[in-house]
Amino acid sequence: MKKQLLIIAILTFGLSFSQTHRYIYELSIKRDNQYNKMNMALDIDKDYTRFYDYDFLRNDSISKKTGESRQNSTQSDQLILRKTNTNENKAFHDNMFDYFVIDSKDEINWKIQNESKKSAEYSLQKATADFGGRKWTAWFCNAIPFQEGPYKFRGLPGLIFELQDDTGTYIYTLSKSINLPETFATNNFLETHYGKQPVKVTLKQFQKVKLDYYNDPIADMKNALKNGGTVVIRGEKITSQEQLDQKRKFLQEIIRKNYNPIELDKAIPYPEN
């Protein structure tokens, strides 16, 4: 982390809170013993805290400059909106043709440890918690008095700089700080998905939608084939119903293999085989 990270953060606390304080995290997600890395943005303003893929910002910036409509889907499935200084989260899920939102209240019972460490010139303190069926370790900096952090993690007496679960499946590392002079609007890609209003559902309803698709992942392809459309799966052109039926188990295997929920206690109960 660069030296100006802490300096910028501290100097701006006295300014108008119409600002957006933006913190960029590198998120590493392990799958098949390999890490997929991406950048995530944590925006904090007077009313709301938002967490989302940094790629949304890139496309939003290009769209504003060029007037072209650029859309992208989340790679993290960690789209969060919450009222600042509360545990009231809205989790958004981009589900192909639908956009869902699930409300939850997620209080995390942190245990602050005596252990501390230095990261460059920053003093960080250790805290641990059980959340979402995983054991987590956080390192926070109480010199930055935002009780916020990545995803749903918050409630410590300082900004979370580092966070990971005990299996090393999810690792967050703070890398950059930016302060914006005004509240940054994310309505186009977070609160709505490029004009698509979110459908409010319960966790059980969302799980049912995902399981229904898993049980018949070729339903839309069947209709396309019947209506004379072209169906291509992993570069292979499908020309018959028999071919398509053979692909069902293949697609189900991909769904299971790529599913890596951060909250294990809310996982979609996909069959093992």
CATH number, domain of 73, equals 2.50.20
121 in a domain, yes or no?
yes
Asked if 18 and 103 sit in the same domain, the reply is: yes
Chain length of the chain: 273
Beta strands across the sheet bearing 111-119? 111-119, 122-131, 134-141, 159-165, 170-180, 20-31, 34-44, 48-53, 79-83, 88-95, 98-105, 199-200
Asked if 242 and 160 sit in the same domain, the reply is: no
Percent of the chain with pLDDT over 70: 93
Last residue of a domain, one of 157, 191, 225: 191
273 in a domain, yes or no?
no
Is the pLDDT confidence value at 7 over 60?
Answer: no
272 in a domain, yes or no?
no
Could you give phi then psi for residue 167, rounded to 5 degrees?
-95, -5
Contact 182, 45 (CB under 8 A): no
Q: What is the mean pLDDT of residues 162-175?
A: 97
Nearest to 256 by CA among 268, 264, 243: 268
Is the pLDDT confidence value at 93 over 80?
Answer: yes
Residue 17: the pLDDT is 56
Last residue of a domain, one of 191, 211, 239: 191
Q: What tokens were used for 64?
A: 């504003």
Residue 142: the pLDDT is 93
Asked if 187 and 120 sit in the same domain, the reply is: yes
pLDDT band at residue 8, thresholds of 50, 70 and 90? very low
Query: What residue numbers bound the domain in which 233 lies?
Result: 202-266
Residue 243: the pLDDT is 80
Asked if 158 and 96 sit in the same domain, the reply is: yes
Asked if 183 and 209 sit in the same domain, the reply is: no
Nearest to 264 by CA among 170, 145, 141: 170
Asked if 206 and 187 sit in the same domain, the reply is: no
Q: Domain tally for the chain?
A: 2
22 in a domain, yes or no?
yes
Asked if 11 and 144 sit in the same domain, the reply is: yes
Asked if 89 and 149 sit in the same domain, the reply is: yes
Asked if 172 and 217 sit in the same domain, the reply is: no
pLDDT tens across 208-228, in order? 999 999 998 887 787 777 777
Percent of the chain with pLDDT over 90: 68
79 in a domain, yes or no?
yes
Asked if 85 and 163 sit in the same domain, the reply is: yes
Residue 11: the pLDDT is 41
Whether this prediction's pTM lies above 0.85 is answered by: yes
Higher pLDDT, 247 or 112: 112
Residue 63: the pLDDT is 78
pLDDT tens across 94-144, in order? 987 899 999 999 999 999 999 999 988 889 999 999 999 999 999 999 999
Residue 102: the pLDDT is 98
Asked if 167 and 246 sit in the same domain, the reply is: no
Nearest to 165 by CA among 74, 264, 89: 264
Asked if 25 and 158 sit in the same domain, the reply is: yes
271 in a domain, yes or no?
no
196 in a domain, yes or no?
no
Last residue of a domain, one of 151, 170, 191: 191
Average pLDDT over the chain, rounded to an integer: 89
pLDDT tens across 40-91, in order? 999 999 999 999 999 999 888 887 778 777 788 899 999 999 999 999 999 9
103 in a domain, yes or no?
yes
